[in-house]
Structure 1
Amino acid sequence: METSDRARLETYFSKIAERFMTDVRPSSLLITHLLPERPAFVRAVGKVTNLRAVLPKPKSINAGARREIEQTVACDELSRETFADPDSAVTYLETRAAGEPVVLLDVGGYFAPSLTALCERFSGQILGVVEDTENGHKRYAVDKLPCPVVSVARSPLKDPEDFLVGQSVVFSAEALLRGRGDILHGRPALVLGFGKLGSSIARLLHVKGIRVIVHDIDPVRLAQAMSQGFEVARDRDQALERAGLVLCATGALSLRGEDFPRLKNGAYVATVTSSEDELELSGLPSGYTRDSAGENVTRYTTTGHYFYLLNGGNAVNFLHGASVGPFIFLVQAEILAGAAMLARGALDATMHEVPATDRAAIAATWLNYYNR
């Protein structure tokens, strides 16, 4: 990032942080993709809250960004296991923010399994959670929450990011295929999930002249896919057997262990999120061996069958930076707005959205800096 771009970003986040300052600053824990531009956002979180620790997503850590952040705040290891176990989750919070009011800033529903225990047993107070992703939104969307959850996953400000992430997924998948001397053309693509990311992926593949088949468990989304000219799979298993490229964009479990043997020989599989969310690789039938088939391409082979997995099943676009340009700063600003909502209190223990007035203010500030 050029010096002028960095200065503009810092100024933008200073304006955003100033708007969402509250009279009482709660403590916070921040889960985030630690990409090169992320320190400016982390510093803004540190202005709106007392940031006690950053927990970088394991598959997206830029070494330079981590070194910069570690100069002012702790960076701790993040794993699903830590927060899946209530005892370890409570212990972790006690080491970082004992007795304090805390806002949990999440990406992917990491705190969801132990949230009730944290609210009941933590020596401080869990003011609530801000969730960034559709996958995480679904994890928190339960009948009874122990505290408020502010979700930005379905915000209009996230639409540009989702669209561009879908484009970057196609770019990275195509780059890996070309690295093996292969191409997208001539292999039907099956897109599992026709939400914001899946629809973006499908549109770009279609523009490139690829035959695109869509599957989603939501009939409304399937109707939307048909209205946009996409072929809709009537039978998911048959679609798996015919696809030369499978792109998983459900925000949940896309492929179970028994699905992999149905894949067409030589099919490529890619995801838009972590393998632990989209793929049940642990359920792969016995007999498959794994070996490298090129940089960031893994071949799974058994008698009479083989398929390729891109980037070990993790989000394929992170291989090339996963950049969506300055549009990501819209969503990050909304996360700060969500933290301020929780800091002010008076929210029911349900799912909430950032008010439209705050979204409009964020967009206006962003346009002032980036509509140039």
Structure 2
Amino acid sequence: MALPRNGVADLGLAQAGVRRVEWAERAMPALRRVRERFAEELPLRDLRITACMHVTAETANLLRALRAGGAGIALAASNPLSTQDDTAAALVAEYGVEVHARAGIDSAGYDRNLVNVLEQFPHMLLDDGCDLVNTAHLERPELLAETFGGCEQTTTGVIRLRQMSAEGALKLPMVAVNDTATKRMFDNRYGTGQSTIDGIMRATNAMLAGRTMVVAGFGYCGRGLAERARGMGARVIVTEVDPVKALDAVMQGYTVLPMDEAAGIGDVLVTVTGNRDVIRAEHLASLKDGAVLANSGHFDVEIDLAALEALSVEIRREVRPQTDEYVLADGRRIILLAEGRLVNLGAAEGHPAAVMDMSFAVQALTVAWLAEHRGELQPGVLDVPLGIDTEVARLELEALGVGIDRLTPDQEDYLRSWRV
């Protein structure tokens, strides 16, 4: 059988990739059930799906479900540091997916791969950060001639899509998979919290107990990170621009400070905001000797890397894997992890498979919903239908062997009535 067109590093890694994908599948029971359903119903028969996502074993299991549903798939990486070359090879050689991704590819290659996967004239787009949608709209709109919708699974990407929609630039209905209750709870809070700590510890082998961590941003991701850092014995300082979120952090017992004050106190500073220039030149100038900088927001813009380089008289690359040391004029050393990119994927393996099980089950069912309603939806940012989120939570509870109560008919009537 001829292999799909591809731009992977080494097809000889395919069997190692299969083992990695199958290991992840053990912790993804909800998605496995969706795949079995898709194989019977073929809701995606003859549809072409183009995706820009992290090329990991968990993503591979999502794509296996979509393939089982009848879709043809072309995949590009959403981050050059997160690509698992063995997983990419397995997707091509064993699972019939067209893949254009390799670990460590440069910016020009990254952009070229986005165009490569769009050239299949997709019916649907699956995006992770809005780079795919952005590229298609700004550079190759003709490749969207047959596209009828898509999904976005990150906070950063949804922010970009909403701005596109507000300006009348978004030409497709895009579902904000990121904004479901299960995604925010499981993926953003529990997943980002654990995997960010994992990335920091793999890169530095540092003790967190007794040290001060500054968490910039107290959304779902920041909340999860703060909880886990505190659980490991760190003193946690939160910085925020939103008064409600800042108040929430205070009521949960965290110290809340402006970054101007927090920067000089922190031993480890982590950005999780989805915005740019959160740690700027004035903050960098006040850092402790040996302070560690990491980012768990989607793009590498949260830490002002140009300012860090300008302040440095020497840059020592890779003092440890994914760990660079910047030496300032006064001798202070600043440690930057994963080049300022996503530390949980650049220095570790991202979220545990059990976390991605729910997020990707929601995504798979949403893709099927989009296919069912093809031609009925208007351009803009749409919510995931509530029933999908509820169904995935039910599948996950069943897989965990957890039972819950059901409303009685009288209780349902009571909730529907306004009369006493």
**Relative to 1, partners in 2 of residues 1:37 and 1:117: Cα closer, same or farther, differing over 3 Å?**
closer
Q: Which whole-Å deviations, capped at 9, do the CAs of 1:132-170 have from their partners, x for residues lacking one?
A: 111111111111322211011121111112213212212
Find the counterpart in structure 2 of residue 206 from structure 1: 230
Give the residue type in structure 1 aligned to 2:275.
A
Q: Check the 8 A contact 1:213/1:232 in 2, yes or no.
A: yes
Pairing 1:62-77 to 2, within 5 Å after superposition: 62-71=84-93, 72-77=96-101
Range that drifts further, 46-55 or 19-28: 19-28
Q: Check the 8 A contact 2:123/2:147 in 1, yes or no.
A: yes
Which of 139, 142, 148 lines up with 1:121 in the alignment? 142
Is 1:148 the counterpart of 2:173? The answer is yes
Distance in 2, matches of 1:77 and 1:116, equals 21
Find the counterpart in structure 1 of residue 130 from structure 2: 109
**Relative to 1, partners in 2 of residues 1:6 and 1:214: Cα closer, same or farther, differing over 3 Å?**
closer
Find the counterpart in structure 2 of residue 356 from structure 1: 386
| RMSD value, Cα | 3.2
Is 1:313 the counterpart of 2:340? The answer is yes
Which of 209, 220, 244 lines up with 2:267 in the alignment? 244
Q: Check the 8 A contact 1:164/1:324 in 2, yes or no.
A: yes
Distance in 1, matches of 2:158 and 2:92, equals 29
Distance in 2, matches of 1:134 and 1:3, equals 24
TM-score using structure 2 length: 0.76
Find the counterpart in structure 2 of residue 167 from structure 1: 194
Find the counterpart in structure 2 of residue 197 from structure 1: 221
Give the residue type in structure 2 aligned to 1:197.
C
Q: Check the 8 A contact 2:34/2:364 in 1, yes or no.
A: no
In structure 1, stretches of 5+ residues that fail to align are none
Tell me the CA shift for residue 263 of structure 1. Answer: 2.2
Q: Check the 8 A contact 1:187/1:210 in 2, yes or no.
A: yes
Give the residue type in structure 1 aligned to 2:343.
V
Distance in 2, matches of 1:241 and 1:186, equals 16
Distance in 2, matches of 1:171 and 1:309, equals 15
Q: Check the 8 A contact 2:295/2:302 in 1, yes or no.
A: yes
Give the residue type in structure 2 aligned to 1:362.
V
Distance in 1, matches of 2:398 and 2:349, equals 26
Is 1:35 the counterpart of 2:60? The answer is no
SS at match of 2:399: helix
Count of residue pairs brought into register by the alignment: 363
Which of 125, 129, 136 lines up with 2:157 in the alignment? 136
Find the counterpart in structure 2 of residue 329 from structure 1: 357
Tell me which structure has the larger Cα radius of gyration: 2
Q: Check the 8 A contact 1:106/1:131 in 2, yes or no.
A: yes
TM-score using structure 1 length: 0.85
The percentage of aligned residue pairs carrying the same residue is 21
Distance in 2, matches of 1:13 and 1:231, equals 43
Give the residue type in structure 2 aligned to 1:172.
G
Q: Which whole-Å deviations, capped at 9, do the CAs of 1:331-351 have from their partners, x for residues lacking one?
A: 112112222333223122121
Q: Check the 8 A contact 1:83/1:110 in 2, yes or no.
A: no
Distance in 1, matches of 2:296 and 2:34, equals 27
Give the residue type in structure 2 aligned to 1:369.
A
**Relative to 1, partners in 2 of residues 1:80 and 1:153: Cα closer, same or farther, differing over 3 Å?**
farther
Distance in 1, matches of 2:70 and 2:178, equals 21
Q: Check the 8 A contact 2:174/2:382 in 1, yes or no.
A: yes
**Relative to 1, partners in 2 of residues 1:371 and 1:272: Cα closer, same or farther, differing over 3 Å?**
farther
**Relative to 1, partners in 2 of residues 1:161 and 1:175: Cα closer, same or farther, differing over 3 Å?**
same
In structure 2, stretches of 5+ residues that fail to align are 1-21, 403-420
Which of 230, 234, 243 lines up with 2:254 in the alignment? 230
Range that drifts further, 298-307 or 164-173: 164-173
